[in-house]
Amino acid sequence: MPRLVDLPGYRRFWVASTVSIFGAHVTTVALQIFVVVALHATAFELGLMNAARWLPYLLFGLVAGVLVDRCRRKPILVGTDFGRAALVCVIPLLYVAELLTMPALIAYVMVFGLLSLLFDAANQSFLPRLVPRKLLIPANARLEQSDSVAQTAGPLLAGALIQVVGAPVAMLVDAASYLVSGVLLASISVTERAQPASRRDLRAEVREGLSWIYRHRTLAPMAVTSHAWFLFHSMLGTVFVAYALDARELDLGAFWLGAAYACGGVGAFLGGALAGWAGRRFDAGPTVIAAHALMAPAWALMPLAVPGLAVFVMVALSQFLFWVAMGVTGPNELGYRQSVTPDGLQGRMNTTIRSLNRAAVVVGAPLGGFLAVATGYRTALWIGVAGFVLVALAMAVSPFRHARYADAVDPGPEPDFTVGV
C-alpha cells in the first residue's frame, strides 16, 4: 500500500485545495467588510448576500450531481477554478468604475455560488480517483487539517491585507489562489472516462441518486442525522456570536472571541491528526458516533459559562473540544460515504447530502436567532445542545452503528496511483 506522499496526483490535489481554501477565507472576510464599509449595506442586505451564496445549492444541487456523474470531473474542477478566478477580479473592476451596487453584488455572489457548487460536487467525487480506497480517511484528514489551519490563519491574513491594501485589492489574493489551484489540478494525470451519452430522463437519474442514499442501510441514517446536525449547528452558531459579544452576557470582546476561534482551529488540526488512527482502530460507525457524542458536552460549556476571569477559558475549551470532534468525524464520514458509493453515483451522493445540509442551515440559522430573541440566549443554546444529544442517540441506535469500512464497494482493479505526472 503506497503512502499519501508517494501519490503525485494527491500531492498536487492537496496543495491546490490548501491554496484555494486560504484564498477563500481571505475573500470571505474582505467581502463582508467591503460591503459594509464601501457600499454601506444594511444588516438585511448583508443577510441577502450571504443567503445568495447558498441558494444555488438548494436550487441546482441535485442536477449538479447528475452532471458530475455524467462527465469527467477534472475538467469541471479546472474550469470552475478558472471561472471563479475571473469572477473575483470583476468586483474590484466594477468598484473602480463606480458600477458596483448591492443588487449587482448579490447576483455576482449567486453566480459564484453556482460555480462553487459544481466545484464542490466534482471535488469530493474526484478524490477516490487519486488515492486507493484504504487511504481515503487519511487523505480527507489532510484536507480537513488544511481547512482548520485556514480557518485560523485566513482571517488574520485577510485583516492584515485589508489594513495594508484595502478590501477590494485583498480579494485579488483569492483570484490568484483559484488560478494556482486550477493550474495544479490541470497538471494531474488521472484516468477518467466520461459516461456514455445518456438518454435517460434527468429526473430518473436524480431519483436514482436519492434512492441510493435514502434506501441504503447505513448511508440513509447517516444522511438524515447529518441534515439534523446541520440544523442544530447553524442554530448554535447563530446564537453563539451574539451571546459571546453581548455586554449583558459574556462580554467576551472581538479579540478574545477571535482567540477562542483560534483554539477551535487547533482542535480541528489535532482531530484531523487522530482521524485516521480512530477510523482504523474503531471503524467507521463507532468512531463517528463517539465524536458526535463529544459535541454536546463541548457546547454545553457555553450556557454554563458566566462572566468573569474564567469565561474565556470555558469558551475556548468548548471550541477546542468541539473542533477536535469535528476533525475526527469529518474525514471518517466522508471517507465512508466515498468508499461505499459506486463511482457512477459519487456526484449525486455528494451533492444531494451537501445540498440538503445547506437547506438545513437556511432554516436553522434564522430559527436560532428567533429562539434567542423569544427565549433568551442560554435557552436557545440548551435547545441546540439537546439537538446534538438527539443526533448522537439516533446514530447510536440506527444501523449506522454497524457501519464498517469493509462495506466498501468493489471498485475493480485500481490503477497505479504512484505513476508520475
42 lies in the same domain as 6 = yes
Provide the CATH number for the domain around residue 207: 1.20.1250.20
Read off the pLDDT of residues 13-70 as tens digits, 9 standing for 90 and up: 999 998 888 887 777 767 766 776 777 776 567 667 767 787 888 888 888 888 888 8
219 lies in the same domain as 102 = no
Evaluate whether residue 417 is within a structural domain: no
Evaluate whether residue 315 is within a structural domain: yes
- Identify the domain containing residue 243 by its residue range: 201-408
- The confidence score (pLDDT) of residue 415 equals 57
Residue 32 to residue 48: CA distance in whole angstroms: 12
131 lies in the same domain as 216 = no
Max mean pLDDT among 73-87, 154-168, 169-183, 187-201 falls in 73-87
169 lies in the same domain as 307 = no
247 lies in the same domain as 184 = no
Total number of domains constituting the chain: 2
- The confidence score (pLDDT) of residue 421 equals 45
Rounded (10°) angle between helices 377-397 and 219-245: 160
156 lies in the same domain as 245 = no
Evaluate whether residue 416 is within a structural domain: no
247 lies in the same domain as 308 = yes
Evaluate whether residue 421 is within a structural domain: no
The DSSP output letter for 406 is G
Residue 84 has pLDDT above 50, yes or no: yes
Nearest to 71 by CA among 185, 203, 195, 189: 195
Residue 121 to residue 132: CA distance in whole angstroms: 20
Higher-pLDDT residue of 278, 256: 278
- The confidence score (pLDDT) of residue 297 equals 96
- The confidence score (pLDDT) of residue 211 equals 93
Higher-pLDDT residue of 237, 220: 220
283 lies in the same domain as 166 = no
Read off the pLDDT of residues 284-300 as tens digits, 9 standing for 90 and up: 999 999 999 999 999 99
CB of 348 within 8 A of CB of 66? yes
Banded model confidence at residue 255, pLDDT cuts 50, 70, 90: confident
Evaluate whether residue 413 is within a structural domain: no
315 lies in the same domain as 404 = yes
288 lies in the same domain as 142 = no
- The confidence score (pLDDT) of residue 400 equals 97
155 lies in the same domain as 220 = no
Residue 360 to residue 39: CA distance in whole angstroms: 30
DSSP codes, 327-356 = HHHHHHHHHHHHHHS-GGGHHHHHHHHHHH
Evaluate whether residue 54 is within a structural domain: yes
Banded model confidence at residue 417, pLDDT cuts 50, 70, 90: low
Evaluate whether residue 79 is within a structural domain: yes
- The confidence score (pLDDT) of residue 279 equals 92
220 lies in the same domain as 328 = yes
Q: Report the chain's mean pLDDT, rounded to a whole number.
A: 85
Read off the pLDDT of residues 308-365 as tens digits, 9 standing for 90 and up: 668 889 999 999 999 999 999 999 998 899 889 988 888 888 888 988 898 888 788 7
The DSSP output letter for 135 is G
Evaluate whether residue 418 is within a structural domain: no
